[in-house]
Each structure stands twice: as structure tokens, then as C-alpha cells.
Amino acid sequence: MAAVVTGIGGYLPPRTVTNDDLSRTLDTTDEWIRTRTGIRQRRVVSEGLSTGELAVRAGARALSSAGLSGVDALVVATTSPERLCPAVAPEVASRLGLGTIAAFDLTSACSGFLYGLATAAGLIESGTADTVLFIGSEAFTTLVNPADRATAPIFGDGAGAVVLRRGEPDEPGALGPFDLGSDGALADLLAIPAGGSRQRSADGGLGHASVPTEDWYLRMEGRALYTQAVERMTQSARSALKRADWSVDDVDWFVGHQANIRIVAAVAEELELPDERVAVNIDRVGNTLAASVPLLLNDYAARGELKAGQRVLLSAFGAGLSWGSTVLVWPDVHAEPVA
């Protein structure tokens, strides 16, 4: 048996922050941001919106797309949880009226959607669940230093969701073989130092008092990450294609994590994929971490550019370091446009 995509949905917070908006408080310009990242604007949570609320709205749309009112399990991938404890997934399940189903969070940063797909597929293939709602939801701008011009322009908030059901391996929507990997030796290239048990135990239980303000925000080594992202995504994508017995020529759409337009373009070039087969929406939403890939899928499906029967290659890279890829033939599902 296989896990089959049967519904999709997305949600973006209404507040838009443009590059010009950022340039009023940061030493940067619209041109500087666009030429280095490909981003023109991003959506940002405002008062009353957080990871859980974004997940609920995207999840509801995915359930509607699938024509379901309930599922057997819910998984939420996020690196910006509502609280350190408990997980947000049980609350999301409750708010969606899904009852007392299995619900848990998964953290794998920008690779969260690929890791979460593999996890949700495992629940189905093991017989634990017949249907799973999987949501990537992020309010990551709350964890980025607004005064850091290296990171503040990159990230945006949002949520994307898919519903998976038990099905046959050869039917449209069936998830293909996965390639997943990690390299924890390079974990410090992208990290938030404070807030966890390492910092809390190291400061002798003093809590916030001894922690520098910048340690509460994301730190990023951009140059090293670029090299790792291109190399790892390219290798992972090739591995997934090989396991599926696909060639690059079989791929109609490359849907890569939207971290930086230069990374997406470099991976596509390494794979020898032409620009017209590379999906991109980073210019409008920025890097939404675990929500990136499902939002991109929803975007292209809603616009009719991603059509039933087309072959799709998914790939992502993120903190951890972690990466993953898979393939699928796109099914006939309804996607509602995300404003």
C-alpha cells in the first residue's frame, strides 16, 4: 500500500511586508534583497495569529479539498512552536473538530515537509492510520532578529497542508521513494542558541538573566549554507529519482524549498532542469520553512500550472543540517487560491 495525496490547502497571514518596508528600519534596499534572495515581499503574522491558527486555517482547506470531515491522525511540522510544551498538533486537531485522534509535532526546519510526508506515509503504510492530515506551519518571523539585515528579509510566515489516504503505489498522488539525510556536525550553521535545555542548564538556572539578547534569535552562516544546500539537495533529488526509476527528463515540475532563488536555480542547473520546469513563489512569500513546499504546490495547482498527471520532484534542505526528496504523479485535486 501507499500514501496518496487526496487534498491540499494553504494559508498566508494578511499582513504584507515589502522590501521597501524593511529598508525603513534596516540598512538595506529593495534591490539588495531582490538580487541576493529573489524576495520582493513576505507575509508576516500580526496580533492574534500564530503557528496554531495558521495550521488550523490551512488544515481546514486541505480537509475541504479532500472532501473529508475527519482523519485518523494529524502531524504538524514546525520550527516555530506556540510553546516549548506542549505540541501544537493536539490543539489544532481539537479546533478542527477531529476529536481525540493521534496528533503530534515534528521539527526538521525547512526539511520539515519532506520529513513529515515520510512520517505520515509511514503511519499509513504500517496500518496505523488510513488517513492523515499533515500540516507545515510557521510563524518564524517571530524568531528572527528584526535588526539583522542578513536574516530579517529572508523569512515569511504561512501554512500549507495535505491530506493523505491509503491507496495503491501506482495511482496518481502516491508518494514515491524518499531520500532523507542529515549532518549534525554542521548544526551551528543555522541555529537559535537560547531557549532550550542546553542554554538553561549552562546558565545555572538563571533563565533569561544571563542570556544575550541576540541568542534568542536565529544565527545563520549564509555562505556555508548555500554550498551545503546546493550539494545536498542535488544529491538527494538524484537519489529519489533513481529510486523511483525516473530520469530528469521525466520531471514536469521541480518543487524545491524556497530558501533563496539562487539555491533553487543552482540545484536546477545541476540537475539540468530548464527554468520553465522550476516552480517559484519565493518572490511573494519568502522562506516559510516547513510551509514552503506545500504552499508552492497549492499555488501552482490553484493557478492550473500544476496539472493532474504531471510528474513532480520535491526537495528541501534546512537546519539540522537536514535534507530530503521524493517524487509523485500529481493527482486530480482541487486547490483553493491563497490570497
Beta strands in the chain (DSSP E): 2-11, 16-18, 41-43, 73-77, 102-106, 131-138, 158-167, 179-182, 190-191, 219-220, 253-256, 311-318, 322-329
Using CA atoms, how far apart are residues 234 and 225, in angstroms rounded to an integer?
14
- Within 14-50, where are the H helices? 19-23, 30-37
Q: For 258, which DSSP code?
A: -
Reported as a pLDDT band with limits 50, 70 and 90, residue 209 is: low
**Percent of residues, the chain, with pLDDT higher than 70:** 98
Mean pLDDT for the chain overall: 95
pLDDT above 60: residue 207: no
pLDDT above 60: residue 70: yes
State pLDDT tens for residues 269-311: 999 999 999 999 999 999 999 999 999 999 999 999 999 999 9
Catalytic residue IDs: 110, 257, 287
Reported as a pLDDT band with limits 50, 70 and 90, residue 208 is: low
**Percent of residues, the chain, with pLDDT higher than 90:** 88
Contact 260, 38 (CB under 8 A): yes
Q: How many CB atoms lie within 10 A of CB 144?
A: 19
State pLDDT tens for residues 217-226: 888 988 999 9
Reported as a pLDDT band with limits 50, 70 and 90, residue 206 is: low
Over range 26-40, report the average pLDDT: 95
Residue 133, C-alpha cell as written in the block = 492530515
